[in-house]
Structure 1
Amino acid sequence: MTTETETARAVASDLLSHHEAAVRTSIELVDRVTGADLRKPTPCADWTLHGLLTHMIAQHYGFAAASRGVGDHDPWKPRRLGEDPAADYRAAAEHVLAAFAEPGVLERKFPLPEFSPTHLFPGAQAVGFHFIDYVVHSWDVAKTLGVAVVFDAEVLDAARPVAAAVPGGSIRTAPGAAFAPEVPWSGSAALDEIVALLGRAPDWTN
């Protein structure tokens, strides 16, 4: 018989596996970015692809620092892209994956100054935040480039309840909000539902 502890460990292992899959998908997509692509608009309002990549890189370093108990704002600051933006992105993504692979990461408390100046977030919740971001940001990059993005069904099954749990209301329209208000969608595509729940139009085109 499976114990509650064994079940919890399996769920934790699945979360980290799904998170890694989402981040690695984003690496594969960013590897396709050219210099000319950096000026393109993205589904993230007011951001070109250049701005989106600098945000994604900063988030990787910020979450990695938080996983190790660092609560100041410095790791979250945007970094200038170098001559090879894909290499810059890959380094940041591998950095957060290495941090999240450390033993006991889901049992830690994460200081996330971009979310709250005082509250500490349970590790599993913090990893969930980063996970859903990189499902959606992978979609953002793919849409910007005009290419397809594919996730395993298990990854999308895990992402859907995380997306549905993101608070709605006025927080979605506040300056700097991570996600816009939910938009209508139709059909049965799981990824379309996830991005629509988080304020992206599934039929967005560049």
Structure 2
Amino acid sequence: MIIDVREAYRRALDDFGALVHRIPPEQWHNPTPCVDWDVRALVNHVVSENLWAPELLGGRTAAEVGDTFEGDLLGDDPLKAFDTSATAAVQAAYEEGALTRLVRLSFGDVPGGEYVTELFADALIHTWDLARAIGADERLDPELVEACAAWFAGAEAGYRQAGVIGEQQPTPSDTDAQTRLLASWGRRG
């Protein structure tokens, strides 16, 4: 990855958050490219991921955290819920030792750096999902697209096997990097 994964993660969350702050009240129930998720459910998912980060990077196991972050985490103030969770997640990623510490996920143990990379990729792809859902500019930061694509080239098979991404979408050979990345995640750009 060309840029520090923590910086990539922060920037992806900043871009996602900028869109969250632009969601008008009437669009919170718009459908998204994520099957079964409307805008509110998508934002809730990212908030949940953000809340998990400090716990897991701090040494707790997925089993210890349990179902703490299930259900509606947005409450009456989705903007505050997102902002607070994003700040905590980024701070946790920058804690000393966070990238080298073993993170105990439900499917196995991974280095903290890998976990933060997964969080970065999730935030980046969901930024596009949110932009599409609310009719905002769908262009992602090209540097983040490049960083994500470089990492995902080695991770895609595992993600596809686990069933956590959609089916690879066909793309013409002259397709831009963002469209290729989104297609690899099962998105139709």
Provide the TM-score with structure 2 as the length reference.
0.88
For residue 23 of structure 1, report the CA deviation from its aligned partner: 1.0
Instruction: State the AA in 2 paired with 1:70.
Output: R
Amino acid at match of 1:32: R
CA separation of 1:134/1:126 partners in 2, compared to 1, >3 Å: closer, same or farther?
Answer: same
SS in 1 for 2:47: helix
Change in CA separation of 1:12 and 1:101 when aligned onto 2, cut-off 3 Å = farther
| Cα contact 1:31–1:86 (8 A) shared by 2 | yes
Q: Which residue of the partner structure matches residue 126 of structure 1? A: 115
Answer whether contact 1:58 1:76 (CA < 8 A) is retained. Answer: yes
* Gap regions ≥5 residues in structure 2: none
- Worse overlay, 103-112 or 185-194: 185-194
Match of 2:36 in 1: 46
Aligned to 1:94: 87
TM-superposed CA distance for 1:12, in Å, is: 9.1
- Length, aligned pairs only: 185
For residue 25 of structure 1, report the CA deviation from its aligned partner. 0.7
Which has the higher mean CA deviation after the structures are superposed, 124-133 or 186-195?
A: 186-195
Alignment RMSD (CA, Å): 2.1
Residue 129 of structure 2: aligned partner: 140
* Higher-Rg member (1/2): 1
SS at match of 2:4: helix
Amino acid in the other structure paired with 2:111: P
Q: Counterpart in 2 of 1:4?
A: none
Distance 1:125 1:41, change over 3 A: same
Please give the secondary structure, in 2, of the residue aligned with 1:74.
Answer: coil
**Kept in 2: contact 1:43–1:143 (CA 8 A):** yes
Question: Quick one: structure 1 residues 41 and 152, their matched pair in 2 at CA, closer, same or farther if it must change by over 3 Å?
Answer: closer
Range with bigger deviation, 89-98 or 76-85: 76-85
Give the distance between the partners of 1:152 and 1:48, measured in 2 at CA. Answer: 24
Describe how 1:101-112 pairs up with structure 2 within 5 A.
Answer: 101-112=94-105
SS of match in other structure, 2:28: helix
Superposition deviation, residue 130 in structure 1: 0.5
Between the aligned partners of 1:78 and 1:69, the Cα distance in structure 2 is 23
Maintained 8 Å contact 2:47/2:85: yes
Residues 44-83 of structure 1 aligned to structure 2 (within 5 Å): 44-71=34-61, 72=64, 73-83=66-76
Match in the other structure for 1:7: none
Moved over 6 A (4+): none
Sequence identity percentage: 26
Q: How far does residue 151 in structure 1 lie from its aligned partner after superposition?
A: 3.9
Whole-angstrom CA distance in 1 between matches of 2:21 and 2:82: 9
The alignment status of 1:161 with 2:150, answered yes or no, reads: yes
1:188 aligns with 2:181: no
Distance 1:95 1:173, change over 3 A: same
3-state SS, counterpart of residue 110 of structure 1: strand
Task: Kindly provide the amino acid, as one letter, of the partner of residue 76 in structure 2.
Answer: E
